[in-house]
Amino acid sequence: MFCGAPLLNNGGKGFCNGDEGGPVGRNSDSVLLGLSSWLTGCARAGLPDVFTRIGAIRGWIDRII
């Protein structure tokens, strides 16, 4: 798991209710880093979103797919 938070003055961009399972990645090289697990507020600056770290479960994913 890892946390992320919407940036201040980002125009309301961030995860919201119903977005669980959605991807989070790096813009620089399109790498999938995690999946949205839960959040403490809907795209509210300073409140963290919590993600499942893909690297931690990569072996399981490879075995299943």
**According to the 3-state scheme, what is the secondary structure of the chain?**
CEEECCCCCCCCCCCCCCCCCCEEEECCCCEEEEEEEEECCCCCCCCCEEEEEHHHHHHHHHHHC
This model's pTM is above 0.85: no
The tens digit of pLDDT for each residue in 2-54 reads 887 665 555 667 788 888 899 988 778 888 899 999 887 787 777 788 899 99
**Domains of the chain and CATH, by start:** 2-64 (2.40.10.10)
